[in-house]
Chains A and B, each alone.
Chain A
């Protein structure tokens, strides 16, 4: 286990990234000038108090939201210059998402939830392969209501990786899970990061999880407070909470 090779490719670069929510009376600076680089193949963990702007950043990186000011580049592509159509294209081609509440489509089975992605992706793996990757080969025809939270979250991960995305963005993927199922999910994430080299960013409130990351990014009040690089990473199985 080591840091990524020297002179890694820069996947994301932000410059003075600002997001202001204007709700009439008050202005909330969810992001107040963030300068950050995320590297290819890197697994980073974003930590910080509630309301510090983590989700906002991830949403902008993933092309779900527009910045108020500043710039974001994905490789050479400036996301802040794209319209809705461009962002949709970008999401479809490059990004995988995992959310705290799984967001599975209730009326579709595990396989079909993954198929949602493979239907529109350019070079997807088969839904079955993606589900095998997260250890759900045997539950493919189950509906979300017939699966545990951990299993549902792994379906969500399978769905996110099925298109072989260059980046995987996870917003509190273990937030709704207990320690044991949470570890299964983290293992799936690390496995994918290592085997496929997918650039992965994970938001969490669980400081323990930072120990499996290459880099840890600390947030506070819309700023990056500090960035740590782990000299040593531990396996998810050794994380407890």
Chain B
């Protein structure tokens, strides 16, 4: 090894604490980038492969009852490669050993056996025999959650007829990577399952011989999707078509999409913070080393080392920091990716492992780490290379402390000498002080942004579950019941109170903009499921007008007072116009609200309900479920009490993990910045501080200068950090918004306070670490060294 490389390694060893502090910050950036970027790629690739291999459809449409004969017309639409019709219905299940009513989505399998599109992957057993009448295959997570194995049986209430079905196999389907029941906010494999039954069973149970109510299409690669959808809508319109849509509105697909988008925005927003701080810290440390090694640089040049060799020497020092940080980051990132993959495995049902080693994620994060360290060191290293050999060997001119206006003002204050030293040093090295403050403020910002997430989730939860939806359970009826059925619901065992509600799929238009959503209608004064406005007041949609959720309004660019056009997919081709009466803050879904009388009038129907919201006496739950299991009209059941609990559990678990992670990250940043800042300060002022000691100042008084400066910078960093945190939080909030949900920008004072406390404490800790060095300062040695 040549001598210059030995110097490099020894310098690195001597600087290990500082290098490690920087490497840890860098490692955070590498780990986060690698994980988010790697998972982003893995999720997207896995999904793409799954879709491709299992022929996930491109266009989906549902109708009431369409004759099989129009299938050939559908196949004749230009661009359609394949079309497959089926019967899809909601069924009520009675699973042995489970008290709760289980709901399921029944999908018919073609006569030929396995479907051509959305081909399921068998996990165990086999598909039902097309000729058998009592066989069923279910999605694997549902079987697992309910302890069902091939050969086991359960009862299904199919269109009013109870049947015993025997499980032949479990499977996964590209249509149900994310499986969520109607009205639910989270997957719940225990109470919602997908059932695959032979076509003749479905046809018989729902009287669908020679007809279908659901069709999926595979298009030619470059077929115009929008035109196919239009043609399909026209064909299905007479048969109660509810509007065809592409993958973007397919539930499972859009949830996976939202997650991918979230990963992408995290990959874009967070890592640059760490890379930026690394660049600045490396710059600061290398800059200091070069200042200390002026003479050695001059000597190297005198010996004949070239500018490039010297520049590279210092860049390599930065490179070593980057290598350590990258390796640490890769290790943490590999672990984190595994953990995230396991988390995804809980929510997403992929047939193969999502996580695979994404070499490009390693490469990209490593390269960016190297680049940020090199960028940080570049200025100093170039400066070193440009030092003229002759001047490099003469000591640098002592820093010029100018007596500017500010300084004169300060002298007026008659501050103590140590305080003056602190303030002068800030003015003498304004760039470094400024960057240190910026670095510490980013730590504050990361914490503010993290507490924002948990506060935002609290707000969503509070809004969705305690202010808007206060019912214990929601019964869903498809296609709906006359509203006097509500009386029967009220008479169910254990029901303390029941309120009707109606959901109707509709297309809303404003100008050239349109959105498919569902109109929600309630009678005025509904108390269980309520509309809450931005100010927290409970409001009702006025008769003859519509209330829009803010995000839906934004989609349509509609403001209160504007008139929106409404079209129901009922084949009537009627367009209704309603004025927008106001906007509603809503984080989940794209709600549009009308009064139930208004909806009935628009649809020209007698008063109906499609849902009943219940208040339940818990003691009577077993009896209630027993009855519900025999209620064929029921198409879905949402147990909100159960959902609230599992939602809160999940969130609490995730928030605790996330908070721990973010606090660690912020402490790493703080220690990285504050420790390096204090070390450099100590190195620059060792002589000065030693002089103070020689003059008779106590250890405490001298360390006050050191710690005081660090803490002053940390204090200055707070307001900046709060502001930056707000900016990052709002970027994250914007990045998380999708059609499915949005994250409100909630910033609580407690979040700011906690961020400040953590950063101030970590700064103090870092300064105290350096203070130990100050205490051990060898006064004689310091005064003897030439600088």
| Residues of chain A whose beta carbon lies under 8 Å from any beta carbon of chain B | 59, 62, 64-65, 84-85, 88-93, 95, 97, 99, 101, 103, 105-108, 112-113, 115-117, 119-121, 159
B82 to chain A, nearest CB (A): 70
The B interface, classified by DSSP as helix, strand, loop or mixed, is helix
B2 touches A119 (CB 8 A): yes
Residues of B near any A CB (own CB < 8 A): 2-4, 6-7, 10-11, 14, 295-296, 298-307, 388-390, 393, 786
* Cross-chain contact B304 with A108 (CB below 8 angstroms): no
Q: Whole-angstrom distance between the alpha carbons of A101 and B394 in the complex?
A: 10
Cross-chain contact A91 with B299 (CB below 8 angstroms) = no
Q: Note all chain B residues with C-beta closer than 8 A to A64.
A: 298, 301-302, 388-390
* Contact with A112, one of B3, B11, B14, B388 (Cβ below 8 angstroms): B3
With beta carbons under 8 angstroms apart, the residue of A88, A107, A115 that contacts B2 is: A115
The minimal Cβ–Cβ distance linking A166 to chain B, given in whole angstroms, is 13
User: CA A120 – CA B301 in complex, angstroms?
Assistant: 12
- Cα distance A197–B96 when bound, in Å? 105
B10 touches A92 (CB 8 A): no
Per CB-CB distance, the 10 closest pairs between chain A and chain B, nearest first, are A92-B304, A115-B3, A107-B10, A91-B304, A103-B299, A116-B3, A65-B390, A64-B389, A119-B2, A64-B390
Residue in contact with B306 in the complex, picked from A85, A95, A117, CB distance below 8 Å: A85
Assess A107 versus B14: contact at CB under 8 Å? Given A101-B786, A119-B2: yes
* A101 contacts B295, C-beta separation under 8 Å: yes
CA distance A165 to B447 in the complex (A): 61
User: How far is B303's CA from A121's CA once the two chains are assembled, in angstroms?
Assistant: 9
Q: A88-B305, A107-B11, A115-B2 given. 14 additional CB < 8 A pairs?
A: A59-B389, A64-B389, A91-B301, A92-B304, A99-B299, A103-B298, A105-B296, A107-B7, A107-B10, A112-B3, A116-B3, A116-B4, A116-B7, A120-B303
Shortest C-beta distance, A94 to chain B (Å), equals: 9
Pick the residue among B4, B299, B301 that contacts A119 (CB under 8 A).
B4
In the assembled complex, 20 residue pairs joining A and B whose CB atoms fall closer than 8 Å, in A order, are: A62-B302, A97-B303, A99-B393, A101-B786, A103-B295, A103-B299, A106-B296, A107-B7, A107-B11, A108-B3, A108-B6, A108-B7, A112-B6, A113-B3, A116-B4, A116-B7, A119-B2, A120-B303, A120-B305, A159-B303
Minimal Cβ-Cβ distance residue in A for B14: A107
On whether A117 and B786 interact (CB within 8 A), knowing A99-B393, A105-B7, A108-B10, the answer reads no
A120 to B296 alpha-carbon distance, docked (Å): 16
With CB as the reference atom, state the residue of chain B lying closest to A111: B3
Once the chains bind, are A84 and B303 in contact (CB under 8 Å)?
no
| B302 near A91: Cβ-Cβ < 8 Å | yes
Contacts of A159 in B (CB 8 A): 303
Q: Is the CB of B390 within 8 A of A93?
A: no
Neighbouring B residues of A84 by C-beta, 8 Å: 307
How many Å lie between the Cα of A84 and that of B299 in the bound state? 15
Chain B residues closer than 8 Å to A99, beta-carbon distance: 299, 393
Query: Are A116 and B307 closer than 8 Å at their CB atoms?
Result: no
Q: Which of B7, B306, B388 contacts A65 (CB 8 A)?
A: B388
By beta carbon, the residue of chain B nearest A93 is B304
CA distance A106 to B303 in the complex (A): 16
Q: Please tell me if the beta carbons of A103 and B4 are within 8 angstroms of each other in the complex.
A: no
In the complex, A36 Cα to B91 Cα: how many Å? 108
Minimum distance in angstroms from A241 CB to a CB of chain B: 23
Give the chain A neighbours of B14 by CB distance below 8 A. 107
B11 vs chain A, min Cβ distance (A): 6
A184–B7 Cα gap in the complex (Å)?
A: 28
Taking the closest CB of chain A, its distance from the CB of B365, in whole angstroms, is: 31
Nearest-CB distance from B12 to chain A (Å)? 10
Contacts of B300 in A (CB 8 A): 116
Contacts of B4 in A (CB 8 A): 116, 119
Contact A89 B6, beta carbon cutoff 8 Å: no
Q: What chain A residues lie within 8 Å of B298 (beta carbons)?
A: 64, 103
A88 touches B306 (CB 8 A): yes
Minimal Cβ-Cβ distance residue in A for B9: A107
* Contact status of A117 and B301, CB under 8 A, knowing A59-B390, A101-B295: no
Q: Do A92 and B307 touch across chains, with their CB atoms under 8 A apart?
A: no
In the complex, which residue of chain A has the Cβ closest to the Cβ of B781?
A145
Docked complex Cα distance between A48 and B552 (Å): 88
CA A115 to CA B307, docked complex, whole Å: 19
List of B residues within 8 angstroms of A59 by Cβ: 389-390
The residue in chain B whose Cβ has the minimal distance to the Cβ of A113 is B3
Closest to A162 in B: B303
CA distance A91 to B303 in the complex (A): 6
Q: How far is the CB of B295 from chain A (nearest CB, A)?
A: 5
Contact partners of A117 in chain B: CB under 8 A: 303-304
A86 to chain B, nearest CB (A): 11
Q: Closest chain A residue to B300 by CB distance?
A: A116
Which residues does chain B contribute within 8 Å of A107, judged by CB atoms? 6-7, 10-11, 14
- Contact partners of B393 in chain A: CB under 8 A: 99, 101, 103
Residue in A95, A106, A117, A159 whose Cβ sees the most chain B Cβ within 10 Å: A106
